[in-house]
Every structure is written in C-alpha cells, then in structure tokens.
A and B are shown apart, each in its own frame.
Chain A
Amino acid sequence: MSPMPVLEDGSLARRAFLGQAARAAFGITLLDGLAGRRATAAPAAGGTNVIYLMMRGAMSHIDTFDPKPGREEQGETKAIATKLPGVMFGEHLPLLAGLADRLAVIRSLTTETGAHEQGTYLMRTSYAQLNSIRHPAFGSWALHVLGKRSRDLPGYVLVGNGNEHPGCGFLDPAVTPVPLADPERGLENIARPAYLSQANFERRLSLAERIDGDFKRHYAGRQIEAYDQMYADAVRLMGSGDLAAFDISREDAATRERYGRSRLGQGCLLARRLVESGVRCVEVEMGGWDMHRDLWEELPEKVGELDTAMAALIEDLAARGLLGSTLVVLATEFGRSPKVNENAGRDHHPAVFSCVLAGAGVKPGVVHGASDAAGRLPDRDAVSVADFNATIAAACGMPWEKEFVAPNGRPFKIGNDGTPVAAVLA
C-alpha cells in the first residue's frame, strides 16, 4: 500500500486517492483492463495449445478404441474397420475411424487406481492424491511453463465441474482454471448491470479494497491472496475486448451441428474458439461413463457424442491450420471390465485402458501398445499414467525431465517419474 493521503476537503483529492488505492490493490493493469482497452501485446503468443477431453466415470476401452471382435467380452458392440489397415474401433466411432490416420491411440495404459476421485486426480496430475499437498493439473503446468497467450483472457478454461479438479495445485493461483458450467451460456455475469456506470463500478471496487484493508492485513496469506487474484482477474476479464470468444452462438448453425448438440460437442466448439482467441489450455469434461448397469442402453449415444465432437474438433482445427499448434488429448480415469456383469454393465478396470492423442507434436496414424486377447491386461508396451503425462508434456515441448520445487521444498516433475512414449511423438 502506498502512503494514504490525508483528506480534509475537496472531492478531487479524494478521487485521486481512490484511483491510487485501486492501483495499489490490483496492480496497474487492472485499471487498464477496466478501461476496456484491447491487449496490445500478447505475452507469449507462440507455443502449443492444449485441448484436453476428460471422460469422467471411466470410458470402456473395449467398446471404443480397443475392441475384441469375436470374443465373449465384446458384448453388444461390434467392431468396425478404420482408415488404418488392420486397426478396428468400436462401431459407434465411425467418424474417428475415418480419421484414424491422424490419431495416436495408446491401448496399453495401466494404473492401480480403480476409484473415480483418485483415478481422475492421478490422470490429471500424475501423482497420487495426498493429504499434505495438492498437485497441479496438466493445464496449470502448461500455463505455468508455456505462459499466458492473451493479457485479458484466462490462460486455462475448464468446461465442467471445478469441485473435483486439482486446479493450480501448489503453483501460483494465477494459473487456476476458470470453470464454465455450460458451453451454451458461456461466461455468465460478465457484463455490469445497465444502471451501473463504469465510474461507479470503479468507485465500488476502490471502496471495497479500502474497507477490506484491516481484514487482509490480519489474515495475510495464500488463502486470501488466492481470492485477491480472482478479483483482479475478474475485473481484467470484464474489460477484455475478446469476450466474444466465449460466445458459441456466433458460430453458424451448420458448424454447431457438426460438433453435435451435446454438452461435449458444444464444449469442443467453445474450446476451439477459445484457443483461436489466445487461451492456452481448455479442458472439457464429459460425465456419465460409469455404466455399471444396462451399459448398452446408454453407451451408443455417449460414444456417438464423443465421436461427433472429437472428429469435428480435429477436422476444424486442421482446416484452420491450428492442429499443428494444438494438442488434442482424450483421457479418462481407467478402463471398464471386459467381463460383462450380471446387470449388463461393466465395472471398474484399472489394469488396462485406452487414451488418444492428436495434433501438435504427435505422430499420426499410430496404435501403440496392446491389451491381451480378453482386454484384461497390457500385452505389450505398458504405459503408466505418468508416462502418458510425460508424453503429452513432451508433445507440447514442455520440460518433462525438469524438477520444479514446490513451496514445501520438495521437487516435482510434470509427468512425475514417467518417460515419454517416443513411438507416438512426431
């Protein structure tokens, strides 16, 4: 805080003080953001972007990217040919089958964690969930290492539920994802109410900061600073000239249809818009994969939504010349049991499962690793979750072997002890 001028009279002096207080509290860029000026220089224009699709509830590998035609385990899903000779996908992935020459499919992922919360955490962070520390999600690492591309727009957007997300972990709160509930609604409450002038809004902010001084001095620490950061970012965002990036209704109807009118489809479309406008990383969640019972009542629709959305995303990125600079990741928590259970469902199966990569840094048209004949265990080239994350870090040109020291003094790596899978890297 700069020294406070003592006010005895006139409003001019007071106004000057209010401006100064706000600057001290938020940093000089805040008021520039408030003025609604466009960013003039993007801080880190280059480097890879990431669109990360997270299948919550655990996607069945046998019904998607690792079918076992002719086996009892295959259940009701048929296998279809893909553009790659000898490689088959589940029948509900016809579009991605046609794009198989652009994908790198890993069929030998393996983990020991068969619980949703722990499995998602491990996939997103490469580390087991602990009481004593929170690890950063991959997108926060990407933002930390590769930098923000736009001054006013967030660096990392999560289309989905923020509650279970590890967020920035021990990294700076500035690399926390911005959770968006619904891609159709974009960023809500971004505009000031009509009756509130810009000047009044600034007065309110200054007043709040001033009155909050005692409390913030008493409880100075990360907990409160993390909130301060969000206030500053929110104000900057309100002043951004790029907010149209959040509005998918500006896309024509044909484009919106092409991605599919599902939450994932529209989320992927939003992801493309955001990456185009300078957001470094977008994660899109898709729930509902936890099909313990009546799997084939729900699976065709779910896999179909994934197929439509991911295929449209890859084609659209390619058409716009963005696929070379954007890595697309399809991840999940673990696999589902090859054996169909008594309720016509599949249970949790961490021993083997599949994930897919495409775009920046990825060798296209590759199937890496394999599960055994029944889809139970890795048959060759087992890939750990840590290896997988080291691979996507390497694909983005991030230093996967570098140790970063957390505030508690302990070293961490982006992909933990993993090693990149060279076979899927370009």
Chain B
Amino acid sequence: MTGIRGPSIRRRAAPAYRLAVVALAAIASVAADRAKPNRQAEGRGGLPATVTAAADGPAMKVAAVSAARRDRVRTEAAAIDALLESRWRELGIEPSPPLDDAQFVRRIHLELAGRIPTYDETTAFLADASSAKRDAMIESLLASPEYVSHFYNYWADVLRLTERPQRNLVFEPYLAYVKDSIRTNKPYDEWVREMLTADGRLWENPAVGFQLRDDGMPLPYVDNTVRVLLGTQIGCAQCHDHPFDQWTQHQFYELAAFTAGTKTRLSVGTRPGKPGKDPQPIPPPVVRTLVKEARETKGKKAGGLIQFIQANATAVSFVDASLRLPHDYQYDDAKPLEKVERELLWGKVPASVAHADGREQFAAWMVARTNRQFARTIANRMWKQVMGVGIVEPVDDFRQENPPSDPELLEHLTTLVIGLDFDLREFIRVVVSTTAYQRRAVLHDPTSAEPFRFAGPALRRMTAEQLWDSIVALVARNPWSVQRPTAAEVAEVAAIDLRQASLADVEQTFDAFVGRYGPGRYQRTLQQACGYRGQWLMKASEMPTPLPLGHFLRQFGQSDRETIDGGRTVPTIPQILAMFNGPITHAMLEEGSVIYDTVMAHDPEETVDVVFFSVLGHEPSAEDRRCAHDELTDAGDPATGCGNLIWALLNTREFLFIQ
C-alpha cells in the first residue's frame, strides 16, 4: 500500500536508522507469517490492507451535539462542583490537582471514545490555543462513532448482549437495535419503555430482545429488570424471605403479576394481531407440523431447521393473565397457589394507563418522572461510568442499609437527569465538564470504611475494551473494517412467514441464513477483513459476543455476557503474558502500523518523544528521555531499541491505568 502518507510526512536523512526500523518490522513479520491462518488482502508488513488503509471512519450518522447548549452545560457542571467543593470544605478534603492538557486529552478520549488518542490527536490538541478547546473536544467526541462503540460496550455488559442467548434466539437484530438507540441518542425513558412493551418478532421489532433475554424464566426476568433499571435486588426473595432484605417473597410475586401475561411464542394463545405492530397469530398446528416434517425427513439437518422454525415462531405479545403463588409457598401472608394481586414496590400506576394492560402499567410506572428511583439509578450508573465509583455501590443494590455516600449529590444528579429529559449523553457531557472530573485520578479502596469523596475520579484500570481499542488505535488506521449487521440485514435472510411457508421455503431461507450468520460465518468474514495472527484488528464493539474465554478481551475481564455488569479489571498472569508475548503487542511493530508510520514520519531525534506521546500521551521526563535515548543507541541497533521502548511503555502500569 502506498499513497497513504500525508504531505506532512518528511522522507529524510538517517537512512541507516530507517533501514534498521524496517529490519525490525521484517523480523516481526517472520513470526507473523508462520502463524497466519488465512489469506487476506495484504497491506504493508504483515498487516491486512483494510487495516492500514486510511479511512474516513465508519458510515455512521451520530446524533449531533448542541454547541449552543455549552453555556448551560457549564452552569450545570458548576452546580455539581459547588456541591462537591462545599463537601470537601466541610470534611477538610484536599482535591486532587487539575489535569494538564495532555492528561485531559488522554482521559477524555478513553472516557468518551473508549481509546487513547493518537499522536496526531494529542499534539493537535496541545497546539490548539483556543480557550474553549476542552468543551469543543468533549462535543466532538460525543458525536463520534467511537462514542457509540464505547457506550455500546457499556450496555452490552449491563444488558448481557449475546448473539445466541438460547439456541433458538437469534439476537443480532436486538444487538443492532441497542447500538442504534445509542447512535440516535434516544432518551433513556423512551428507550426503556419501548423495550418493556415491545411486541413482535426480533426481525420486525428488535426491541423485543429485552423481554426475550430470559425467555422461559418470567421470574428471573422481573428480578433482572428491576435490578438493572431500579438498582434494587428483589430476586433473592424469589426463594425465601431473608431477614436482611427489605423485600418479601410476596412483594416479589405482586410485582411479577404485572408482566405475567407475556407470551413469547406465536403459536401459543396469541391474540389477534394488529397489522404492522403485533405478531400475526399462527394456529399451533402450523409450527408443530413443520417441526414434525423436518424431524422426519431432514436427517442431520433437522436440528438446525427446527431451531430456525422456533426462532421464527418466537414473538412477544401480551394478554393479561393472573399469577399464582408457587405450590410450596411457605409464609403466613398468603396460601400456596393463591392468585396474586398486582402491587408495585412503591408509588402508583400513572393515571394515563389506569385502564391499560399490566405490562403497559409496569412500564409507565417504571419510567414516570415521579418514580425517582428510576432516574436515581441511571444517574448513579452514569456518574460511576465517568467518576469510577457510584454514590451507591454496587449500583444495583439500593437499600436502606446501604445508603448513598452523598445523598444530596445523588438527588442533585437525579434532578439533573430528569431535567435533561433523560438525555444520558448530555448528562455525561455535564459530568465530564466539571472541574471535579478534570482532576487527576485518586486512589480508591472499595473495602475502606471511608466513603469516596470524588476529590477526582477514582483511579481505574482500563476496561478490557478500552485496552483493546487503544492497542488497535496504535496499529490500525481503520479499526472499522467490519460493523456488526443491522437488524434489517439479518431480517432479510432470517424472516419467514410461517403461515404460508412450506418446509422447502423454510429450508431455502435457512440455508441463506446459515450462509451469512451460521456458526463461524461472521468470524470468517472478520478474518478475511482484518485478521492478523488469529486476531481481528477491529473495534471490540463489533466483534462476536461472547468471545471465547481465551481471547485477549476476556483475559482482561470482558464479561461473559451472562452476568449483569460482569466485566472485571482484576489482574491475572495470562494478561501479562498476552501483553509480553501475544500477537497484538507485536502488531504495532509491523510496518504500516500507526505508531510505526508516525515514528518514521519524524526526525530520528524525535523518536523518543513520538513514542511517549503515542503510547502514554505525554512528554517524557528529562530522566525518561535520557534513559530512552540510551536504549535507542545502546540496544545494538536503534530499531531494536525503538521496539524495546514501545514494548516497555505498553508494559507499564501507567499505560493500563487511567490517570
């Protein structure tokens, strides 16, 4: 690949040095070639061409951020700062020092775009003399596709997004729907209500995925929904009353009674559908006959076909139904098998839905502005996402015995999120605009009895996705060679009208579906587009999910997508081995990687600074510079020295942690 170097790149003297760097890359490539499983279009070095080619970014239109609101954002941020500062004064707490511009530009990229800034982004920001450059940077990142990618990773962890939660659930449309809801910056209350009340199949209305995630388990569905949306754990009451819990088993069933009429199969008791919205009913024999025919005539293929028929018969609908207590209910407040009357945990059903069905009532109550716990939960979640620690921890365990560390702050943020009409992106914008956020990170010990006072954000290790996307940013000019399929793309090869389809029709669609989204298909597409030594050099958000346990992202704690908020940042030995010896670390030593080209585009005497800015985002200290320079001249040849320096910076704790 040529022609990708911009005009600013100077090809100049020091040929011995340049050759040496090329030699370094060549050495790295030898190892690469041995391990390369598949052929793909070759770029320079061992990197795929799609990855090294300059790109304008993905085709993704992200909702605009209003520059006109900047003054209001400042006012809202100042109000939070005033609150925190009065708390610090009261408690004699010394705030952490403010971030300098270099620290800010790194942190804000990780926070909003989920990766470190490139050398060019950092140096351009430092060179910018305008006084409002931080606000402008925040606004620009919030409107970028990488914001969508980063917050998709967040929600994928919360909502347990996986492609096949059960064998007959094809969830790609729902995953695309979540990503799209972030892209369009759908107000959170609307988004939630849409998911809680959605009807239909995943093909036509992918929002139904939320209700299907725990398909077949109506009680865990209520438990998980309340845990995620209201920060409240009532699920333990599913088995027993517990002396330390606020909620009884009876209350749990009373709440579950609202959604008890949720049906997830087209053929079972479906009400007549309204065109365009509700699923069309299918007489039960249709599915049964197709399944029987497949089982009897299709041999080995039958299993897959039956799952595919079931996937097409999976649709959410709702008819009010009553819920009865379990046969072994053991408390005095009611009898086993007794019908449960609907009762909310708190508050009232809004008048506007007084005559609507149970599910509509549950959803309307959930997102109502009068239900402050809904707003409080998301305010606390988003605050934690940015500041590193929730005001209530864990974020899904609001209880009287687990009070907020700063009730006044939490109520302030709750009011703010409501005042912003549940525009979560705008909420994030306000929080990252506070001076409290723009301070150096401080240590936080979660086991300490002392509450965290937000004298700055808590020091955090990068999430698995931040780390991956950061490393990819050092390698790939284009990390977007593939995006996950849209809902419409999947529907196109998956949707069958079961009322009219013969088994032959089903089989034809099934073959088309398997050809595109069958096991391993997406993986193969990725391998061809951006495969490098068994890794895909692309955004974490666009990868298949869950990834296998041994993948770099899983090693660094990415969720298995079965546990709510299951991502972790604890250290393990395999992580270190992956950083030391894994293919991804070495991808950046290949010719054509971003950092390689950046080094080559600068004078040799600038190498140390370029590498420091690229990897750690700041200038080296005088001592580091001398130490690094020595390494370049002392390692036998400067290329090896340069490789050693890049490797060394990647393997610092400073690189892994967000200051």
> Which positions in A face B, CB cutoff 8 Å?
7, 11, 14, 112-115, 117-118, 131-134, 154, 160-164, 167, 170, 173, 176, 178-182, 185, 187-195, 200, 203-205, 207-208, 210-212, 214-216, 219, 221-224, 226-231, 233-234, 237-238, 292-293, 339, 343, 345, 348, 350, 376, 407-408
Residues of A within 8 A of B235 (CB): 115
Q: Would you call B574 and A180 a contact (CB within 8 A)?
A: yes
Q: Would you call A408 and B447 a contact (CB within 8 A)?
A: yes
Instruction: Quote the shortest CB–CB distance from A26 to chain B (angstroms).
Output: 12
Instruction: Quote the shortest CB–CB distance from A335 to chain B (angstroms).
Output: 11
Q: Would you call A234 and B576 a contact (CB within 8 A)?
A: yes
- The majority secondary structure among interface residues of chain A is loop
* 30 A-B interface contacts by CB (under 8 A): A112-B239, A113-B239, A114-B236, A114-B239, A134-B447, A162-B557, A163-B559, A163-B560, A167-B570, A181-B548, A182-B548, A182-B549, A189-B577, A189-B578, A195-B31, A200-B640, A200-B644, A204-B647, A204-B648, A207-B644, A207-B645, A211-B648, A214-B621, A219-B657, A224-B657, A230-B573, A339-B327, A339-B328, A408-B447, A408-B449
- List of 6 A-B pairs having minimum Cβ-Cβ separation, nearest first: A181-B550, A181-B549, A114-B239, A234-B576, A215-B654, A207-B648
Q: Would you call B445 and A131 a contact (CB within 8 A)?
A: no
Asked, given contacts A163-B557, A182-B549, whether A194 binds B649 with beta carbons under 8 Å apart, the answer is: no
What is the bound-complex CA distance between A220 and B400, given in angstroms? Answer: 34
Q: Which residue in A188, A226, A229, A348 is a CB contact (below 8 Å) of B550?
A: A188
The reply to whether the CB of B571 lies closer than 8 angstroms to some CB of chain A is yes
What is the bound-complex CA distance between A224 and B443, given in angstroms? Answer: 10
When C-beta atoms are compared, the residue in chain B nearest to A182 turns out to be: B550
When C-beta atoms are compared, the residue in chain B nearest to A185 turns out to be: B550
Segment 624-647 of B: residues with Cβ below 8 Å from A: 624, 627-628, 630-631, 634-635, 640, 644-645, 647
The reply to whether the CB of B58 lies closer than 8 angstroms to some CB of chain A is no
Residues of A within 8 A of B216 (CB): 292-293, 343, 345
Q: Would you call B581 and A208 a contact (CB within 8 A)?
A: no
- Bitwise, B269-282 to A at CB < 8 A (1) or not (0) is 00000000000000
When C-beta atoms are compared, the residue in chain B nearest to A224 turns out to be: B653
Asked, given contacts A131-B394, A219-B657, A339-B327, whether A212 binds B573 with beta carbons under 8 Å apart, the answer is: no
Asked, given contacts A14-B634, A190-B581, A203-B631, whether A115 binds B236 with beta carbons under 8 Å apart, the answer is: yes
When C-beta atoms are compared, the residue in chain A nearest to B659 turns out to be: A215
Q: Would you call A194 and B30 a contact (CB within 8 A)?
A: yes
Instruction: Quote the shortest CB–CB distance from A175 to chain B (angstroms).
Output: 13
- Bitwise, B364-402 to A at CB < 8 A (1) or not (0) is 000000000000000000000000000001100100001
The reply to whether the CB of B350 lies closer than 8 angstroms to some CB of chain A is no
Instruction: Quote the shortest CB–CB distance from A164 to chain B (angstroms).
Output: 6
When C-beta atoms are compared, the residue in chain A nearest to B460 turns out to be: A223
When C-beta atoms are compared, the residue in chain A nearest to B235 turns out to be: A115
Q: Would you call B559 and A203 a contact (CB within 8 A)?
A: no
Q: Specify which of A112, A163, A224, A237 lies most central, judged by the most chain B CB atoms within 10 Å of its CB.
A: A163
When C-beta atoms are compared, the residue in chain B nearest to A407 turns out to be: B447
Instruction: Quote the shortest CB–CB distance from A265 to chain B (angstroms).
Output: 17
Residues of A within 8 A of B217 (CB): 292
Inter-chain pairs besides A7-B630, A164-B566, A221-B443, 7 sampled, C-beta below 8 Å:
A131-B402, A185-B550, A189-B581, A200-B644, A203-B644, A208-B647, A215-B659
Q: Would you call A227 and B560 a contact (CB within 8 A)?
A: no
What is the bound-complex CA distance between A205 and B647, given in angstroms? Answer: 9
Q: How large is the interface on B (under 10, 10 to 19, 20 to 34, 35 or more residues)?
A: 35 or more
What is the bound-complex CA distance between A293 and B443, given in angstroms? Answer: 46
What is the bound-complex CA distance between A408 and B27, given in angstroms? Answer: 51
Residues of A within 8 A of B581 (CB): 189-193
Q: Specify which of A133, A195, A205, A215 lies most central, judged by the most chain B CB atoms within 10 Å of its CB.
A: A195
Q: Would you call A215 and B449 a contact (CB within 8 A)?
A: no
Q: Would you call B574 and A114 a contact (CB within 8 A)?
A: no
The reply to whether the CB of B580 lies closer than 8 angstroms to some CB of chain A is yes
Segment 534-556 of B: residues with Cβ below 8 Å from A: 548-550, 554-555
Asked, given contacts A195-B31, A211-B649, A350-B239, whether A161 binds B549 with beta carbons under 8 Å apart, the answer is: yes
Residues of A within 8 A of B576 (CB): 230-231, 233-234
What is the bound-complex CA distance between A157 and B593, given in angstroms? Answer: 36
When C-beta atoms are compared, the residue in chain A nearest to B575 turns out to be: A230
When C-beta atoms are compared, the residue in chain B nearest to A216 turns out to be: B653
Q: Would you call B644 and A204 a contact (CB within 8 A)?
A: yes
What is the bound-complex CA distance between A233 and B582, given in angstroms? Answer: 17
The reply to whether the CB of B240 lies closer than 8 angstroms to some CB of chain A is yes
Asked, given contacts A118-B236, A212-B652, whether A163 binds B574 with beta carbons under 8 Å apart, the answer is: no
Residues of A within 8 A of B635 (CB): 200, 203
Q: Would you call B652 and A215 a contact (CB within 8 A)?
A: yes
Instruction: Quote the shortest CB–CB distance from B173 to chain A (angstroms).
Output: 22
Q: Specify which of B566, B568, B627, B630 lies most central, judged by the most chain A CB atoms within 10 Å of its CB.
A: B627
Segment 171-200 of B: residues with Cβ below 8 Å from A: none
When C-beta atoms are compared, the residue in chain B nearest to A338 turns out to be: B328
The reply to whether the CB of B567 lies closer than 8 angstroms to some CB of chain A is yes
Q: Would you call B236 and A113 a contact (CB within 8 A)?
A: yes
Asked, given contacts A131-B394, A219-B443, whether A211 binds B627 with beta carbons under 8 Å apart, the answer is: yes
Asked, given contacts A185-B550, A216-B653, whether A194 binds B582 with beta carbons under 8 Å apart, the answer is: no
What is the bound-complex CA distance between A203 and B402, given in angstroms? Answer: 49
The reply to whether the CB of B563 lies closer than 8 angstroms to some CB of chain A is yes
Instruction: Quote the shortest CB–CB distance from B531 to chain A (angstroms).
Output: 18
Q: Which residue in B572, B644, B648, B654 is a CB contact (below 8 Å) of A178?
A: B572
Asked, given contacts A193-B31, A211-B627, A219-B443, whether A234 binds B549 with beta carbons under 8 Å apart, the answer is: no
What is the bound-complex CA distance between A187 and B576, given in angstroms? Answer: 12
The reply to whether the CB of B39 lies closer than 8 angstroms to some CB of chain A is no
The reply to whether the CB of B509 lies closer than 8 angstroms to some CB of chain A is no
What is the bound-complex CA distance between A132 and B452, given in angstroms? Answer: 13
The reply to whether the CB of B586 lies closer than 8 angstroms to some CB of chain A is yes
Q: Would you call A176 and B572 a contact (CB within 8 A)?
A: yes
What is the bound-complex CA distance between A237 and B573, given in angstroms? Answer: 9
Q: Would you call A131 and B393 a contact (CB within 8 A)?
A: yes
When C-beta atoms are compared, the residue in chain B nearest to A158 turns out to be: B572
Q: Would you call A226 and B571 a contact (CB within 8 A)?
A: yes
Residues of B within 8 A of A182 (CB): 548-550
Asked, given contacts A131-B397, A164-B563, A195-B30, whether A215 binds B653 with beta carbons under 8 Å apart, the answer is: yes
When C-beta atoms are compared, the residue in chain B nearest to A233 turns out to be: B573
Q: Would you call B554 and A181 a contact (CB within 8 A)?
A: yes
Residues of B within 8 A of A223 (CB): 443, 459, 461, 657
Q: Would you call A132 and B447 a contact (CB within 8 A)?
A: yes
Instruction: Quote the shortest CB–CB distance from B646 to chain A (angstroms).
Output: 9
The reply to whether the CB of B238 lies closer than 8 angstroms to some CB of chain A is yes
What is the bound-complex CA distance between A191 and B566, given in angstroms? Answer: 30
The reply to whether the CB of B656 lies closer than 8 angstroms to some CB of chain A is yes
Residues of B within 8 A of A212 (CB): 652-654
Q: Would you call A163 and B568 a contact (CB within 8 A)?
A: yes
The reply to whether the CB of B242 lies closer than 8 angstroms to some CB of chain A is yes
When C-beta atoms are compared, the residue in chain A nearest to B546 turns out to be: A161
Residues of A within 8 A of B575 (CB): 230
When C-beta atoms are compared, the residue in chain B nearest to A128 turns out to be: B244
Asked, given contacts A200-B644, A350-B239, whether A234 binds B555 with beta carbons under 8 Å apart, the answer is: no
When C-beta atoms are compared, the residue in chain B nearest to A230 turns out to be: B571
Asked, given contacts A115-B235, A163-B559, whether A222 binds B445 with beta carbons under 8 Å apart, the answer is: yes
What is the bound-complex CA distance between A180 and B402, given in angstroms? Answer: 35
Instruction: Quote the shortest CB–CB distance from B331 to chain A (angstroms).
Output: 14
What is the bound-complex CA distance between A221 and B447, given in angstroms? Answer: 13
What is the bound-complex CA distance between A34 and B651, given in angstroms? Answer: 17
Q: Which residue in B28, B573, B652 is a CB contact (below 8 Å) of A211?
A: B652
Q: Would you call A181 and B571 a contact (CB within 8 A)?
A: no
Q: Would you call B574 and A187 a contact (CB within 8 A)?
A: yes
Residues of A within 8 A of B31 (CB): 193-195
What is the bound-complex CA distance between A162 and B550, given in angstroms? Answer: 11
Q: Which residue in B397, B447, B648 is a CB contact (below 8 Å) of A208?
A: B648
Residues of A within 8 A of B449 (CB): 132, 408
When C-beta atoms are compared, the residue in chain B nearest to A376 turns out to be: B328
Q: Would you call A188 and B577 a contact (CB within 8 A)?
A: yes
Residues of B within 8 A of A192 (CB): 580-581
- Bitwise, B313-345 to A at CB < 8 A (1) or not (0) is 000000000000001100000000000000000
